[in-house]
């Protein structure tokens, strides 16, 4: 079995780890990967958006299955390109990946099919957006339409902040072309929860839920990041609420995509707010979450490859998918300055002292230089502790995280704290 995983983050490290754990004899390539992934897979020096080169490589190496990690290549049609080259690919085609690639597409879809989400309006010009904004109550949420590395959303708690966010997004182009169009959306209050599901058309097989921590600082302060830490399962959220979210949001959305002629095959990831009126959709992603994957896949007992193959063979509804009762907590170690600019190439110490029994260390942004690991991204490592409950998993994650060091290392100290009260 020859597999090519596309991407370079902690998510892809976790995917490669899960594929390899089930069967160590699998030959795995990763393009372009990172220094941690290189311990399990052969790195291929081709970028995620170099479709022609990826197709050629996969054909020449007789790759049996390609798995796509990140959002950018999915939105740009990588699955269509690889399929046109005769390859077998796990991930949504471009017309289905649009559920993440355009927030306006997603909001309009949910509105059309009566799927719960925040009230909203969409704009393509600044003047009308500003006039609408002036008439709204605060807090309010301003979102760039397109992909912005998880940073295109501003939750505004004052009028000044809202005005500034709108100007930054639409006039100053802080998120580039992603901000040519915006969504202005009602602020939802409640607990957040992510439900990831393996989806093939109308078949939805939910994974165990997880919770992310997007703001960079403790107490959910500071700007949003790609995610500073996660945990799974969510012991403080009743299964009945999770079931309602699946029945009223995830399943109807999968059916809506089929009805629209855009059947979704891949991981559909719903970011939800549990409001006093029940769960409502914040966003959809068309891929595994990062760092949600780092806590969800270690809890998956079934072989991930079997799930991918079942989806591609149209038998996802018939396989058994088993989860461990164990809890997992991921603490992200980030570079100083992230989510703004940050240095690269700083030496990382302590990695060799951590065994898989202490914690799993998934590399998010690392490279190797002169035989040692150095920082190479905003999010550098995801340290995952596992245990009988969240408290034990969390203690193990932080014990290992404290033993890893690089200059300017920053991490939140309150990951999973909400689950303990």
Give the nearer residue to ligand AMP in terms of CB position, either 225 or 309.
225
Task: Among 227, 229, 298, 385, indicate the residue that binds ligand GLY (CB under 6 A).
Answer: 227
Each residue of 156-190: b (16+ CB within 10 Å) or e? beeeebbeebbebbbeeebbeebbebbbbbbbbee
Burial of 292 (0-12, 13-18, 19+ CB in 10 A): buried
Q: Are 230 and 211 in contact (CB under 8 A)?
A: yes
Give the nearer residue to ligand AMP in terms of CB position, either 214 or 396.
214
Chain residues 149-168 in contact with ligand GLY, contact rule CB under 6 A: 150
213 binds ligand AMP (CB under 6 A): no
Chain residues 229-288 in contact with ligand GLY, contact rule CB under 6 A: 285
Omega prior to 104 cis, within 30 of 0:
no
- Sign of the torsion angle spanned by Cα atoms 48, 343, 227, 387: positive
Shortest approach of ligand AMP to residue 153 CB, angstroms? 4
289 binds ligand GLY (CB under 6 A): yes
187 binds ligand AMP (CB under 6 A): yes
Task: Among 8, 13, 214, 409, indicate the residue that binds ligand AMP (CB under 6 A).
Answer: 214
Strand partners, 191: 274
For the record, the structure tokens of 123 come out as: 């704009």
Shortest approach of ligand GLY to residue 80 CB, angstroms? 22
Shortest approach of ligand GLY to residue 265 CB, angstroms? 19
Give the nearer residue to ligand AMP in terms of CB position, either 107 or 265.
107
Q: Are 85 and 59 in contact (CB under 8 A)?
A: yes
Task: Among 271, 339, 365, 385, indicate the residue that binds ligand AMP (CB under 6 A).
Answer: 271
Residue 313: CA atoms inside 13 Å, Cβ hemisphere, count?
12
Shortest approach of ligand GLY to residue 78 CB, angstroms? 17
Say which entry of ligand AMP, ligand GLY, none residue 333 contacts (CB below 5 to 8 A, set by partner kind).
Answer: none
DSSP string, 122-146: EESSHHHHHHHHHTSPSSEEEEESS
Give the nearer residue to ligand AMP in terms of CB position, either 283 or 290.
283
Tell me which residues touch ligand AMP (CB under 6 A). Answer: 118, 141, 150, 153, 155, 185-188, 192, 214, 224, 271, 282-283
């Amino acid at each position: 079995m020859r597999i090519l995983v596309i991407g370079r983050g902690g998510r892809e490290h976790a995917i490669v780890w899960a594929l390899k754990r089930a069967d160590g004899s699998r030959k795995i390539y990763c393009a372009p990967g990172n220094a941690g992934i290189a311990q399990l897979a052969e790195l291929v020096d081709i970028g995620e958006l170099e479709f022609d080169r990826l197709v050629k490589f996969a054909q020449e190496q007789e790759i049996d299955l390609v798995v796509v990690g990140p959002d950018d290549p999915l939105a740009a049609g990588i699955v269509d390109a690889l399929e046109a080259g005769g390859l077998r690919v796990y991930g949504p085609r471009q017309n289905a990946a649009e559920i993440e690639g355009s927030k306006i597409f997603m909001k309009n879809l949910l509105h059309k099919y009566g799927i719960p989400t925040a009230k909203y309006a969409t704009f393509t010009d600044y003047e009308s957006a500003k006039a609408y904004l002036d008439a709204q109550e605060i807090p309010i949420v301003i979102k760039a339409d397109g992909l912005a590395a998880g940073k295109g959303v501003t939750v505004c708690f004052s009028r000044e902040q809202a005005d500034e966010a709108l100007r930054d997004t639409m006039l100053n182009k802080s998120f580039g072309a992603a901000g040519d169009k915006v969504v202005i959306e009602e602020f939802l209050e409640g607990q957040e929860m992510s439900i990831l599901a393996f989806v093939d058309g109308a078949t939805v097989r939910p994974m165990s839920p997880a919770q992310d921590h997007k703001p960079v600082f403790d107490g959910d302060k500071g700007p949003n990041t790609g995610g500073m830490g996660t945990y799974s399962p969510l012991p403080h959220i009743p299964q009945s609420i999770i079931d309602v979210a699946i029945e009223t949001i995830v399943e109807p959305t999968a059916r809506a995509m089929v009805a629209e002629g855009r059947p979704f095959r891949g991981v559909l990831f719903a970011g939800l707010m549990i409001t006093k009126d029940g769960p409502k959709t914040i966003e959809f992603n068309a891929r595994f979450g990062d760092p949600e994957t780092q806590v969800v896949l270690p809890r998956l007992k079934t072989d991930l490859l079997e799930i991918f193959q079942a989806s591609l063979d149209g038998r996802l509804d018939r396989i058994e998918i088993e989860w461990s009762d164990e809890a997992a907590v991921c603490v992200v170690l980030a570079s100083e300055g992230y989510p703004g600019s940050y240095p690269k190439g700083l030496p990382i110490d302590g990695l060799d002292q951590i065994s898989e029994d202490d914690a799993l260390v998934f590399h998010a942004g690392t490279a190797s230089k002169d035989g040692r690991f150095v920082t190479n991204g905003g999010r550098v490592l995801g340290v995952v502790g596992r245990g009988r409950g969240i408290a034990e998993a969390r203690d193990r994650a932080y014990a290992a995280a404290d033993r890893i060091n690089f200059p300017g290392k920053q991490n939140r100290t309150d990951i999973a704290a909400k689950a303990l009260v």
